[in-house]
A and B are shown apart, each in its own frame.
Chain A
Amino acid sequence: MKITRRGMLKATLGGVVLLGTGGVLLSLRGTVLRTPRGPLEVLDPESFSVLAAVADQMGPAGEGWPSAWEVGVPEDVDALLAVMHPGDAADVISALKLLENAAAGLVLDGRTQTFTASSTEEQGHILDTWRRSDITLRRTAFRALHKLCNAAYYANPATYAMSGYPGPPSFGGGGG
């Protein structure tokens, strides 16, 4: 039975915190860490690494496209979160931790690995599961991560050529 939008557990990105709280303590496997190319402003090493894995699922290398990691999407998202409301950044971190959480994955999906320790194919499957989930909270979390990673990836000049986009014309403006 589908959990409705107006159900008992109301779907907000903030609600992810509730769903994730218990599971954090029960995590079965560690996070496969990635090293950022500079100091992080908001994300901790674990959430940065989960974000990096998600970003590479959104923008994988191949067919001429650079990977999201190559073009710096995780660092760009970290920088964006730093200038958003702290509550927004905290919500995103909660979503990343929930995604990574193996205990929650075990209970809801039967998976025993953390997200970052899963294979590339398995990570894609997990994100697809969240995208289609009957649990609105998961769809909400997916959408938030999808928007952040997609925006940072496709707005990056390193991907313009593959989109066939020439980039904006120059009128001498300087980016504020």
Chain B
Amino acid sequence: MSGRFIIGEEITEDLEVTCDVCIVGSGAGGGMLAAELTARGLDVVMLEAGGYHTRKDFDLEEAHAYPMLYQDRGGRSTVDQGITILQGRNVGGGTTVNWTTCFRTPDPVLSHWADVYGVEGWSADELRPHFEAVEKRLNIGPWDRRMANANNRVLLDGCEKLGWQVDALRRNVKHCGNTGYCALGCPIDAKQGMMVTTLPEAVGRGMRLYADVKVERLVTDADRVVEVVGKVLDRRTGRPNGRGVVVRPKVAVSSAGAINSPALLLRSGINDHGRVGVRTFLHPVVAVVGLYDQVIDGWRGAPQSMASHHFIDRGEGRVGFFIETPPMQPMLAAGAGFLIGRDQQRLMSQLKHMSALLAVCHDGLLSEESGGTVTLKPDGRIAVDYPIEAPLQEAFRAAHKALAQIHLAAGVKEARSTHIDPISITGQSDLPRFEGASYGVLEVSIFSAHQMGGCTMGPDPKRSVVSSRLRHHRLANLFVVDGSVFPTGVGVNTSESIYGLAHRAAEFVAEGV
């Protein structure tokens, strides 16, 4: 079989194909899985709703990149608009637009999954060879501290002065030009995302990858998926163009990502025990902006190269968080907060001197945390609902204090929260102001760049959607291979956890053929 990238406009008539494995989604899960399955000699067809874009398409303008490369044209959010959700939608998925940060799934999280959710076969020892393999394949390695941009330097210097844990993180890049535009598509193919690594490899071994094909449903017969049914989308409008694709595979894999994998199962009527879409975790993020005398130019240089895990374990009953930095192009920066008009303009006029620190909250570990839900609206749209419960609100407040302290230690002129009425911090004596702040929905700006859960793994069909070998509990030839199978948030940036998961899952999927 001759492999190829095929875009929607090349599909000029309804298409019916057969294969060993049909993978829905081309991101961290699907991309890594495809490389491993084709290496085993399997005939793989991949369907991706997003477009096929290369560096030649990346002009690094936010107004073009977000609609082109992100879910819902960059507008994905929870139903109440309380959490802005950044999630990739293109050939390569999130790996095309992520900020390149890589961590292995922490050992305590893997132990928690085994102890609390009965997950088997995912210990640190069992995963180690898989992480080692993907780290080699994707050139994952530590970033040089001396290369930290000014925004990351704030995090590094501030934490070191406070005596808090901080270190350079690892990135999946090769010959990185330190451009600072990771979120808008790497212009020099330095980022080792799926689009420049595993997908071309898999296509070279015969995979047919159809871009612009949105999978509508999985057709089942008794205990098997018999068809994967999709519609071809017009690239410009995003609307179905009238052509259809039907794949009849021996094995079907949903790698559409957390949020979209549960949505696909729901559209297909696959929800045996009501577990699909529940326990969705978003690693909710809050920020504190710092205004400095010196130039920061936070749009320049690797956007995320330092991390502090000083507060990841805050003791029993508390949600932990880790601290990183975002890119600082103007549209993303303007999205943090609720300011209107002249207030917003005056803040944005200081963008050159603006640093931002993020606290990423590790959700899902507490017994009282149920996370969010993914459901379908009557018109088929996906609805993500995520309550901001008391433990998270407590974590947001603690995080804001910590972020402000880092800014102060780094010499900030003024640190500001992203509340409707920003809390202004110019010295230690201002920190108690956070005590009176509200952290409910739409009272403070909240983001998510990490989506997990919704098709969780585990041994009990009444508590999970797939087994520990990622096979659906009832449908023998359906697997889910993406972040949706994680029983909780992972507590670090998600990409390497998904790469490792997919690398390991290849064995399970291949056995199913």
Contact = CB atoms under 8 A, between A and B. Distances in A.
Interface of A: 5-6, 11-14, 57-60, 62-63, 65, 76, 80, 82-88, 124, 127-128, 131-132, 136, 139-140, 142-144, 146-148, 150-157, 159-160, 162-165, 168-176
B381 A154 contact: no
Interface footprint category on B = 35 or more
Given A57-B340, A58-B341, A136-B80, A173 B59 contact: yes
Contact of A140 (B330, B387, B442): B442
A147 B75 contact: yes
Interface string B70-90: 001111010111101000000
Contacts of B299: 165
B349 A171 contact: no
B340 A165 contact: no
B297 to A, nearest CB: 8
Interface in B458-501: none
A154 B79 CA distance: 24
Interface in B339-367: 340-342, 344-346, 348-352
A163 B59 contact: no
A165 B330 CA distance: 7
A159 B504 CA distance: 48
A173 B331 contact: no
Chain B CB within 10 Å — which of A63, A146, A155 has the most?
A155
Contacts of B82: 140, 143
28 contacts: A12-B383, A14-B79, A59-B341, A60-B342, A62-B342, A80-B67, A85-B72, A131-B338, A139-B81, A140-B81, A143-B81, A143-B82, A143-B442, A147-B84, A151-B331, A163-B330, A165-B329, A165-B352, A168-B61, A168-B329, A169-B187, A171-B58, A173-B57, A173-B187, A174-B59, A175-B59, A176-B53, A176-B57
Contacts of A148: 75
Interface of B: 51, 53, 55-64, 66-68, 72-75, 77, 79-82, 84, 179, 181, 184-185, 187-188, 236-238, 299, 329-331, 333-335, 338, 340-342, 344-346, 348-352, 377, 379, 381, 383, 387, 420, 440-442
Given A152-B63, A174-B56, A176-B64, A140 B80 contact: yes
Given A143-B81, A155-B62, A165-B351, A175 B57 contact: yes
A154 B440 contact: no
Given A58-B341, A83-B238, A136-B442, A163 B56 contact: no
